[in-house]
């Protein structure tokens, strides 16, 4: 029988923040659709009002914060893995460019969610 994987706090927090953001985003879309169905033209003011009321901006900021914590945690945690030791320079380049490279950031987040240090 396979042992259930234990997740680190940074992984759990990221998963919760991502789920919250996705739900909030969906609720925002629903509200915008309702306004359109009511015949209301969606301009910048209407968009900002819906985003503010739905909490989308706050959920986005919480997601970015959780991503940053996850990235920081993974940078420390990965250093004990054979993959990191085998290609240290490549990993360090990914981490050094995380703020300027959205694809690299996505790769690090995906890799961090796969880390199992038990």
pLDDT in single tens digits along all 118 residues of the chain? 556 778 999 999 999 999 999 999 999 999 999 999 999 999 999 999 999 999 999 999 999 999 999 999 999 999 988 889 999 999 999 899 998 999 999 999 999 999 886 5
At residue 2, the pLDDT reads 54
For residues 17 and 75, give the distance between their C-alpha atoms in angstroms, rounded to a whole number. 20
H helices of 9-87, in order, are 9-37, 44-54, 56-77, 82-86
pLDDT at 117 (0 to 100): 66
- Residue ranges of domains in the chain: 9-114
Element (H, E) at 81: none
* pTM across the whole model: 0.86
pLDDT at 1: 55
Are the beta carbons of 22 and 41 closer than 8 angstroms? Answer: no
Burial bucket for residue 55 (CB in 10 Å: 0-12, 13-18, 19+): middle
pLDDT of res. 4 = 72
Question: What pLDDT shows up at residue 6?
Answer: 86
What is the chain's length?
A: 118
């Amino acid at each position: 029988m396979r042992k259930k994987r234990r997740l680190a706090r940074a992984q759990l927090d990221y998963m919760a923040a991502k789920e919250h953001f996705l739900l909030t985003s969906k609720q925002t879309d629903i509200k915008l659709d309702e306004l359109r169905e009511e015949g209301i033209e969606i301009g910048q003011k209407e968009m900002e009002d819906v985003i503010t009321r739905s909490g989308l901006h706050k959920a986005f900021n919480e997601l970015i914060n959780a991503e940053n914590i996850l990235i920081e945690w993974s940078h420390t945690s990965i250093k004990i893995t054979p993959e990191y030791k085998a290609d240290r320079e490549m990993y360090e380049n990914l981490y050094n460019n995380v703020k300027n490279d959205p694809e690299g950031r996505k790769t690090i987040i995906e890799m961090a969610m796969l880390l199992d240090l038990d």
